[in-house]
Amino acid sequence: MVERKVGVAMDMSECSRGALKWAVESLLREGDCLVIINVQGSVTYEEGHSQLWEDTGSPFIPLIEYEDPSTTKRYGVKADPKTLEILKYAAKEKKVVVVAKIYWGDPREKLCDAVGKLPLNCLVVGNRGLGKIKRAILGSVSNYVVNNASCPVTVVKSSEPEN
């Protein structure tokens, strides 16, 4: 029986990997389900998968499949080796179920949608440390999600600000 569903927003950047690491070390406990949520910005209609699951996101992808390069290629995701090592550690040592779910569209909206539809008990997101000007121009995904998600959101700050 799954205790809690803990979501981690992953775009495979260093800051999202830091958020994942924090969640594994500080938040997860045995029996939890760790849901890796990846939002692809563009929808590629030639592929078919993104068109099929544009509204609902992909089906849950178990860790064993998420590790397979053909699976990640099919969904347009590049799961890097460091992230996979953290996920394997979480599954083996923390005894949690690890699944991934991929969405297509605006990360702010899709993360908030995922919180309610999955449903998640909490969500962990990274913060790239944008300066005030870039944050004003580009907007902050983490700020939007904190203010609009229907579950508790933890923002893990990046150790190094992005220029």
pLDDT tops 60 at residue 133:
no
Encode pLDDT of 14-73 as tens digits: 989 999 999 999 999 999 999 999 998 765 544 555 556 667 889 999 999 999 988 888
pLDDT of residue 75: 82
User: How many other C-beta atoms can be found within 10 angstroms of the C-beta atom of residue 48?
Assistant: 10
Encode pLDDT of 94-131 as tens digits: 999 999 999 988 999 999 999 999 999 999 999 876 55
pLDDT of residue 137: 46
Domain limits of the chain? 5-157
**Do the beta carbons of residue 43 and residue 108 sit within 8 Å?**
no
Task: Indicate the CATH number for domain 5-157.
Answer: 3.40.50.620
pLDDT tops 90 at residue 79:
no
pLDDT tops 90 at residue 162:
no
Q: Which residue bears the tokens 């594994």?
A: 24
**Do the beta carbons of residue 140 and residue 162 sit within 8 Å?**
no
pLDDT of residue 3: 79
C-alpha pair distances (Å), 37 with each of 46, 124, 132, 152: 22, 10, 26, 16
**Which tokens is 140 given?**
């902050």
